[in-house]
Each structure stands twice: as C-alpha cells, then as structure tokens.
C-alpha cells in the first residue's frame, strides 16, 4: 500500500508559481441580482419560474452541462465558461480570460442575448446593481448548496447574511509573469481597491430605502469576518508568495470536503494546525488548501492569477471600465511606476481608514489631505495613457466611468439624486433606470 505524502508548504507555493506566464490575459467574474419585474423582489431559487428553472431552461436551449450539489443544480458549464449561483441565487458569469476586453464584452453580450428570451418568459431580470433593492436577507433563501449552509452559520459579522444573500459584485482577474511581477501587481492593486470601490459605488438603496451609504455592499464586507476579509498584510513592498500563503495558513478553517461529505471545522483550527495534526482522522491535502484559500476573502486574492474583488455590480458599460483600469495600469510598467508615485505618501493606516470611509462617502471620502475624487482623475489619466499606447482601442472602455468620475460623482450619487427627485422614492423607477 502506497504511503500518502504529507502536504508541505512547498506544495502550496507551487500553486502560485504555476500561475507565472508570458501570455497575459484579462478576466472578469460578473455577478447580477435575479429580480422579478412584477414585484421587484428577489427571485427565489425554488420558485416555479425561479432561478433553478431558469438554469434548467438555459441548459436545455444552449447545451450547457449542469453543475450539481447532491443532485441540486447550482450552476452550468460549457468548456471554460461557467454560470454559477451565489448563496442568495445571484447569477455569476465566470468567463475564460481573454486577450482583450473586447473579447470579454462579446462573450458577455452573446450569453446575455441567449439569456433574454428565458428571462422575459419568466418575468425576471438580472440587475446590474450592488445590493438587493427591495428584498432583504430575511426573505432570501439560501440555495441548496451544502457549503453555503455551513458558511452562513459560521461567518460571524453582523452583515454577513447581507453579503451572502443580497449583494452582487464584479471581480477582475489579472495575470502575472513572475513572483516579483505578481507581488508588484498585488501591492498596487491593494492600494487601488478603495479608490475603485469609490468610483463604482452602486448600492445606496436597499430594502426600498436610502441606507445612507453609497456602497452598502462594501459596508457588508466590512462586517462579514475580519479573520478572512480586508487587506492581506500591511501592503508591504517586500511581500512574497510565501508571506501571502502564511496569512491563509493561519486563518481559521470553515470546512473540508471528503468525497460526497462536507466535514465542518467551524474555526476550531487554522490550516497550518490542520497540516500538522489533521482533523478527526483527516489529513490535509492540496485540494483542502485550495478550498480553504477560496474561503479567504481579501480585497485582492492570490491564486494562479490575481483576483481583485471589491467592486459593486454596475452596468451601462461600466462593467468593462473595471478591467480597463486594471489592464491599463497593471500591464504597463511605466503606468505601475506612475501609480506608485501618485500614491507613495499614503501608508497602511491611510488605506485602512479609507476602506472604512468609502462605503458611506465614496468619491467624497478623504485620504490624508486629499479627496478621493481628485486622486481618481489621475488614476484614470494613467490608465488611459497606457491603453492608448497599447493601441488596441481599449481606452474607449474608460469613457463610461469618466462621465462620472471626472465630474466627481459615482453611480450611487445619480441614484440618490433621482431617488429624492423625479423618482419620488419609487422602487419601480429605480429598477427601470438600472435595467435600461
């Protein structure tokens, strides 16, 4: 009988090393809220014309394969693309990374076109918005995925249920060439995240009322689980794959999978303790680490690519402004240097304070002596100059966000103005505006 090799940290570091590549692509993970066009409430997974039925119909019409959990449909896949469900039935497109943002846009448009007749038949829409506009977590059921039930019981933050069941965001996926390149991008991406959260803030109305926050979604992440959310480390210039791995290894575990069974751990040990001692006769495997790392939710997550996470879901072309900014800055060494120079006077405490102030104030938040709305203009200038230099016509994807940010506003500002103005707090008008 072959003896099983004990998992070592070097095995884990190989996961990151394997991400080093020369052919750099760009990817997005794009979540949206399933909303009824008759009631404006969240559409339940199990309704007759609910989210499960929507997936089943789409799979039949377009020949996608089911992703299941104990025979329950929790997503679809076709080659390298997936359509999966977040805990409250939010629909996420996770697309194969592409060479250009144009390719991503074409893929999203193609899938949306195929979605539309089924959505119309079911009287629902997938809303480009950061938080459920009318339904709250108390009336949104978890989908029948075992890990979500365990997570819902474990996550201790006062808004963790909001995060899980109500929110939708957009994540950007960035490639790296080497460990040094990965860490440079990791550091700069972390510094950019609060500015990006501010620019794309799009979740002020929740439960049918003005929350007083421009990104209630970002607020929910601040109150989910500080053991696994926020910045990794001190945004240190000398960060490495190993230092990132150490933070993940020392974070509390939630569960492991063993065959068809889910084994709850519920924070009783860190992954490093699991590697050393095992748990209830189970020894740590590389698959266990990959699962654990996927249950670690920092602003920027290291995988075999960088996953930059904290942006509200937006539409109207703004969804492509997000990867355009990151591509313009992180795929151009001069642009990276300019960004570092722009942000050099701010330290970890400044970024941490900004992260807590942005959900309420967005572009009107302050970092040091500066307003965020003034700094983002320089960020957009750096990204645009880089994209123009690349000569792929991708600078056009910055135009939607420039219309807001260069005027010192974010999407939430427009919503709030209309909410108290011509909409007269009418949720129907909000949905119509977002869904235009």
The model's pLDDT over 16-38, given as tens digits with 9 standing for 90+, comes to 999 999 999 999 999 999 999 99
pLDDT at residue number 1: 39
Q: What pLDDT is attached to residue 4?
A: 57
Residue that has been written with the tokens 């900004």 in this structure? 354
Among the listed residues 407, 383, 272, the one whose alpha carbon sits nearest the alpha carbon of residue 326: 383
Asked if residue 177 has pLDDT above 90, the reply is yes
Q: Is pLDDT above 70 for 2?
A: no
26 lies in some domain: yes
In a domain, 390, yes or no: yes
CA distance 151 to 164: 9
Quote the pLDDT of residue 234. 87
Look at residue 423 and tell me if it is in a domain: yes
- pLDDT tens digits, residue range 265-276? 999 999 999 999
Structural domain boundaries enclosing 145:
9-251+296-434
At 20, which CATH number?
A: 3.30.590.20
Taking all residues of the chain, what is their mean pLDDT, rounded to a whole number?
96
pTM for the full predicted model: 0.97
pLDDT for the residue 145: 95
Residue 264 belongs to a domain: no
Helix axes 318-330, 101-122, angle to 10 degrees: 160
Compute the average pLDDT of residues 81-94: 98
Question: Residue 3: pLDDT above 90?
Answer: no
C-alpha R_g of the chain: 21
Q: Is residue 109 part of a domain?
A: yes
How far is it between the farthest Cα atoms of the chain?
Answer: 74
* Displacement of CA 69 from its chain's centroid (Å): 22
Q: Is residue 425 part of a domain?
A: yes
Predicted confidence (pLDDT) at residue 164 exceeds the cutoff of 80: yes
| Mean pLDDT (whole number) for 182-210 | 98
Q: Are strands 91-94 and 81-85 parallel, antiparallel or unpaired?
A: antiparallel
- The DSSP H or E segment spanning 30 is strand 26-36
Residue found under tokens 């014309």: 49
Tally of domains in the chain: 1
Contact yes or no for 311/200 (Cβ under 8 A): yes
Q: Could you tell me if residue 122 is inside a domain?
A: yes
Question: How far apart are alpha carbons 166 and 207 in whole angstroms?
Answer: 10
pLDDT band at 237 (very low <50, low <70, confident <90, very high): confident
**DSSP symbol at 162:** H
Cβ distance 72 to 132 under 8 Å? no
Question: Model confidence over 249-261: pLDDT tens digits?
Answer: 999 999 999 988 8
pLDDT over 70 percentage in the chain: 99
Q: How many CB atoms lie within 10 A of CB 337?
A: 13
> What does the pLDDT average to over 44-53?
97
The total of other beta-carbon atoms located within 10 Å of residue 368's CB is 12
Please write the tens of the pLDDT for every residue from 350-362. Answer: 999 999 999 999 9
Dist CA 291 CA 163 (whole Å): 19
For residue 3, give both structure tokens.
């003896």
Using CA atoms, how far apart are residues 166 and 430, in angstroms rounded to an integer? 17
Is 192 inside any structural domain? Answer: yes
pLDDT of residue 8: 95
Cβ burial, residue 365 (10 Å; 0-12/13-18/19+):
buried
pLDDT of residue 82: 98
The pLDDT of residue 385 is above 60? yes
């Amino acid at each position: 009988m072959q003896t099983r090799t004990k998992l070592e940290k070097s095995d884990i570091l190989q996961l990151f090393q394997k991400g080093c590549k020369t052919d750099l692509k760009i990817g997005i993970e794009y979540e949206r809220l399933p909303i009824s066009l008759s009631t404006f409430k969240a559409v339940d997974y199990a309704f007759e014309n609910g989210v499960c039925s929507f997936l089943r119909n789409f799979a039949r019409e377009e020949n996608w394969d089911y992703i299941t959990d104990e025979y329950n449909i929790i997503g679809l896949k076709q080659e390298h693309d997936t359509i999966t469900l977040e805990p409250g039935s939010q629909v996420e497109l996770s697309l194969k990374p592409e060479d250009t943002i144009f390719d991503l846009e074409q893929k999203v448009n193609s899938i949306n076109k195929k979605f539309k007749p089924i959505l119309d038949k079911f009287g629902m829409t997938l809303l480009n918005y950061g938080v459920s506009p009318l339904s709250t977590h108390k009336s949104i059921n978890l989908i029948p995925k075992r890990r979500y039930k365990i997570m819902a019981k474990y996550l201790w933050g006062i808004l963790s249920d909001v995060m899980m069941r109500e929110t939708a965001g957009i994540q950007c996926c960035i490639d790296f060439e080497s460990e040094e390149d990965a860490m440079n991008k990791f550091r700069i991406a972390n510094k950019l995240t609060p500015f990006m959260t501010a620019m794309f803030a799009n979740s002020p109305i929740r439960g049918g009322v003005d929350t007083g926050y421009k990104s209630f979604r970002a607020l929910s992440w601040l109150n989910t689980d500080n053991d696994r959310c926020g910045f990794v480390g001190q945004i240190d210039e000398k960060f490495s794959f190993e230092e990132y791995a150490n933070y993940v290894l020392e974070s509390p575990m939630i569960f492991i999978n063993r065959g068809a069974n889910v084994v709850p751990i519920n924070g009783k040990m860190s992954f490093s303790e699991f590697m050393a001692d095992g748990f209830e006769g189970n020894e740590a495997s590389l698959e266990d680490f990959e699962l654990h790392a996927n249950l670690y939710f920092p602003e920027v997550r290291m995988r075999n690519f960088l996953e930059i996470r904290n942006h509200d879901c937006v539409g109207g072309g703004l969804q492509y402004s997000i990867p355009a900014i990151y591509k313009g800055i992180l795929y151009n060494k001069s642009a990276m240097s300019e960004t570092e120079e722009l942000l050099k006077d701010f330290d970890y405490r400044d970024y941490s304070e900004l992260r807590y102030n942005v959900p309420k104030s967005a572009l009107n938040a302050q970092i040091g002596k500066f307003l965020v709305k003034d700094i983002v203009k320089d960020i957009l200038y750096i990204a645009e100059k880089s994209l123009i230099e690349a000569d792929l016509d991708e600078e056009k994807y910055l135009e939607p966000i420039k219309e807001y940010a260069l005027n010192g506003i974010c999407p939430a500002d427009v919503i709030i103005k209309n909410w108290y103005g011509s909409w007269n707090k009418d949720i129907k008008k909000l949905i119509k505006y977002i869904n235009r």
